[in-house]
Amino acid sequence: MIREHVDILIIGAGPAGLAAAIAAREDGIDSILVLEREAMPGGILRQCIHNGFGLHRFKEELTGPEYAQRDIDRALELKIPIECSTTVLSVSKDRVVTCISREKGLRLIEAGAVILAMGCRERPRGALCTPGTRCAGIYSAGTAQRFVNLEGFMPGQRVVILGSGDIGLIMARRMTLQGAKVLACVEIMPFSSGLNRNIVQCLQDYDIPLYLSHTVTDIQGRERLESVTVSKVDERRRPIPGTEMVFECDTLLLSVGLIPENELSEGAGVVISPATSGAVVTDSFETSVPGIFACGNVLHVHDLVDHVSNESFRAGHAAASYVRSEKKPGLMLKVEDGAGVRGVVPQLIRLAPQEPVTLMFRPSGVFRNASAVISCGDKELMRRKAMIFTPGEMAAYSLKPELFAGLDGSLPLTVRIEKGDE
């Protein structure tokens, strides 16, 4: 089998893959190839027809397709080749990518650097162990979004939504606007996992009740869903007897979390973080396998696509520097989750960085009038107070290079949240 070669190969043509490709091309890399398994580039944004995208990056409000089209147009302008309807089967440690497509068949592509930008997928019903029948009418929120927005198909008319992730909140509004009756949004945690603006704009503005500390405990229906039972849960998330509510409905949408698509990453030997379910990366977004980088939702699930793009631009520039052998390995400073923090990215920072380093994480709960503190041993590098920290909104803090002066890597950098007065 004939092997092809490219300097940088990018897997995924969603917002992360497109941004990384654009950055690498603008950095002077001529040999770039983007592989996408869908028939068109743009990723999940193609089905996100609501507005609210681009406020940070473009300083204007765009729909998902409009946001994606700007990067698609820029990639076309830069003559970046994007091969759609191409499935990547594996990535090896020495950066040989095996892929297949109807037009070109099975291929092996050697790459100077590989950027993983495969995005994430929804957690299915099987992961929830919810009792009840296996009837029709149960969909993930993203699947329902694709049906309604891209295929013109309404999943049902009386809807209950389990989980308060952003996709579920947005679909509560979308189904209502399409004429369905959304009976309730049910969340097992005592707080929502979605953005506060989506709770207001998608639930409160349409009088859709949000039941916190509740979950679906039974599903009834033979051929088609007929009703679901919702129960209150205690502090250990166990259903409380006597609190059952029955909702007669024909549709249950699941918005119960997103999982980074890391099967290819694991096949390449990339170390995966148990906190993020994405790769462990350095501040240049390089994984534990030299020359393989990761960015976007395959690295950690973001709340805003603007952050995905900004992160992926940096990954594209880093991959370009790697191909040109401009950055040499050095001592690393380990970054750890402290109290109130889950999933800090990056997990490793090269000592004496030349550029500011942005640390991103999600709070493990809701904290009011608290402070984010970044320290190394007894040395406090940064302290920022905020009115509220919530798991639905990612926190991001930029550290200037001079803050790392005097650190030798013997002690880890710790990110924590210190509680304030309620």
CA 306 to chain centre: 12
How high is the pLDDT of residue 1?
Answer: 66
DSSP result, 166-210:
HHHHHHHHHHHHTT-EEEEEEESSSS-SS-HHHIIIIIGGGT--E
How high is the pLDDT of residue 331?
Answer: 84
Q: In whole angstroms, how large is the CA radius of gyration of the chain?
A: 22
Closest CA to 403 of 384, 377, 380: 380
Q: Token pair 């473009």 is at which residue?
A: 58
How high is the pLDDT of residue 3?
Answer: 84
DSSP result, 48-107:
--SEEESTTTTSS-EEHHHHHHHHHHHHHHTT--EE-SEEEEEE-TT-EEEEEETTTEEE
How high is the pLDDT of residue 193?
Answer: 85
As a whole number of angstroms, the distance between CA 286 and CA 149 comes to 36
With vertex at residue 229, the alpha carbon angle to CA 223 and CA 230, rounded to the nearest 5 degrees, is 140
Which stretches of 10-58 are DSSP H helices? 15-26
Bridge partners, 233 (sequence order): 239
How high is the pLDDT of residue 327?
Answer: 64
How high is the pLDDT of residue 260?
Answer: 96
Which token pair is 146? 């694709």
Helix orientation angle between 305-323 and 15-26, rounded to the nearest 10 degrees:
40
Which token pair is 315? 């990954």
Query: Coil, strand, or helix at residue 18?
Result: helix
As a whole number of angstroms, the distance between CA 397 and CA 346 comes to 12
How high is the pLDDT of residue 166?
Answer: 92
How high is the pLDDT of residue 195?
Answer: 87
Q: How many residues does the chain have?
A: 422
Taking the chain (422 residues) in consecutive chunks of 10 residues, what is each chunk's mean pLDDT?
90 98 97 97 96 94 97 98 97 97 95 97 87 93 96 96 94 97 96 90 96 96 96 95 97 94 96 96 96 97 95 97 80 94 96 91 94 94 94 93 90 93 59
Q: Token pair 């798991």 is at which residue?
A: 391
As a whole number of angstroms, the distance between CA 185 and CA 253 comes to 9
